[in-house]
């Protein structure tokens, strides 16, 4: 059974439909990348999956269970945004642990999880700092660390590298690939408009255009057999 199933999923804002009936299955442990031009609905799709937007039509299932009306905190998902979204007045440690009490972790368990995530990301020495005392790359690591602490079944990333400079972008991309490898069976769903990120990170790529799926496949399938010129243009193969 697929871990995440989208069945004819739709989303409208007022009279404007932006997700126009998406059917897709994402397997447990898979690294699925959504690509597509600005405005095609990538962020909206992630927000539907994590519950930050309400679904207008169709179904969203996790492990066969209907999620349409389940609140975000009960979905077992952690989202990492482009803009980090850290609390400016809280230390790195607080940012990573905030809200965990609600999740009923004891403080010793929580402390252990924060330290383990910080170690994985090599930010142990930054735990007492405030976000403004960090570089962009360090802030994004904290945002990823905060997601890891929550021990989610699925990680969602919305263009997590786009505020970083070129060198940091490569380093952070490799870091995310390493985390996926190290965290056995964790599912990652990753949005980008960058072909290189998509081709290097993905087990499968889903190409979106104007709220619909154009093609889904492995990077080599899309590269070698693009369904149409749009996909070919996007993936960068000479069809
Ligand atoms: P992408 O992430 O691929 O750039 P988005 O999912 O952010 O695209 O947006 C898809 C479309 O939905 C855009 O036309 C955008 O203007 C519209 N949209 C997104 N969020 C809202 C909202 N809260 N209200 C109205 N329109 C929205
Ligand atoms: Mg977006």
pLDDT digits (tens, 9 = 90+) for 73-127: 899 999 998 777 899 999 999 999 987 765 666 788 889 999 999 998 889 999 9
Place of tokens 């962020």: 43
Above 90 in pLDDT, residue 177? yes
**Ligand 1: distance of its center to the CA of 184 in Å?**
33
Dihedral of CA atoms 89, 94, 96, 102 in degrees, nearest 10, equals -110
Name the range with the highest mean pLDDT among 69-78, 193-202, 206-215.
Answer: 206-215
Which pLDDT value is given to residue 98? 86
Q: What is the pLDDT of residues 219-232, one digit of tens each?
A: 999 999 999 999 99
Above 70 in pLDDT, residue 237? no
Q: What is the CA radius of gyration of the chain?
A: 18
**Ligand 1: distance of its center to the CA of 25 in Å?**
23
Alpha carbon nearest to ligand 1 atom 6, residue:
41
Which pLDDT value is given to residue 39? 95
**Ligand 1: distance of its center to the CA of 19 in Å?**
9
Q: What span, in angstroms and rounded, lies between the C-alpha atoms of 119 and 135?
A: 18
Backbone angles phi, psi at 47, to 5 degrees: -65, -30
Q: What is the pLDDT of residues 36-60, one digit of tens each?
A: 999 999 999 999 999 999 999 999 9
Percent of the chain whose predicted confidence (pLDDT) is above 70: 96
**Ligand 1: distance of its center to the CA of 51 in Å?**
15
Above 90 in pLDDT, residue 31? yes
Which pLDDT value is given to residue 239? 40
Cβ contacts of residue 79 below 8 Å, gap of 6+? 46, 50, 52, 147, 155, 156, 157, 158
Give the residues surrounding ligand 1 with Cβ less than 6 Å away. Answer: 13, 18, 36, 38-44
Percent of the chain whose predicted confidence (pLDDT) is above 90: 74
pTM of the model: 0.92
Alpha carbon nearest to ligand 1 atom 27, residue:
13
Mean pLDDT computed over every residue of the chain: 92
Cβ contacts of residue 29 below 8 Å, gap of 6+? 184, 185, 186, 187
Which pLDDT value is given to residue 83? 75
């Amino acid at each position: 059974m697929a871990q995440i199933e989208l069945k004819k999923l739709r989303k409208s804002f007022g009279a404007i439909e932006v997700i126009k009936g998406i059917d897709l299955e994402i397997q447990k442990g898979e690294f699925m990348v959504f690509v597509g031009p600005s405005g095609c609905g990538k962020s909206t799709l992630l927000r539907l999956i994590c519950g930050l937007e309400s679904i207008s039509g169709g179904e969203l299932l996790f492990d066969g269970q209907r999620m349409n009306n389940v609140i975000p905190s009960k979905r077992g998902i952690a989202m990492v945004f482009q803009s980090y979204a850290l609390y400016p007045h809280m230390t790195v440690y607080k940012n990573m642990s905030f809200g965990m009490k609600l999740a009923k972790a004891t403080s010793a368990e929580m402390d252990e999880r924060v330290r383990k995530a910080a170690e994985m990301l090599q930010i142990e020495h930054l735990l007492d700092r405030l976000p403004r005392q960090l570089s962009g790359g360090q802030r994004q690591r904290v945002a990823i660390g905060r997601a890891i602490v929550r021990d989610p079944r699925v990680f969602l990333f919305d263009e997590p590298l786009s505020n970083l400079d070129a060198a940091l972008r490569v380093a952070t991309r490799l870091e995310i690939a390493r985390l996926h490898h190290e965290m056995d069976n964790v599912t990652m769903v990753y949005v980008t408009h960058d072909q290189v990120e998509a081709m290097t990170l993905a087990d499968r790529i889903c190409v979106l255009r104007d709220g619909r799926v154009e093609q889904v496949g492995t990077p080599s399938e899309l590269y070698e057999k693009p369904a149409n010129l749009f996909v070919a243009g996007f993936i960068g193969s000479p069809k």
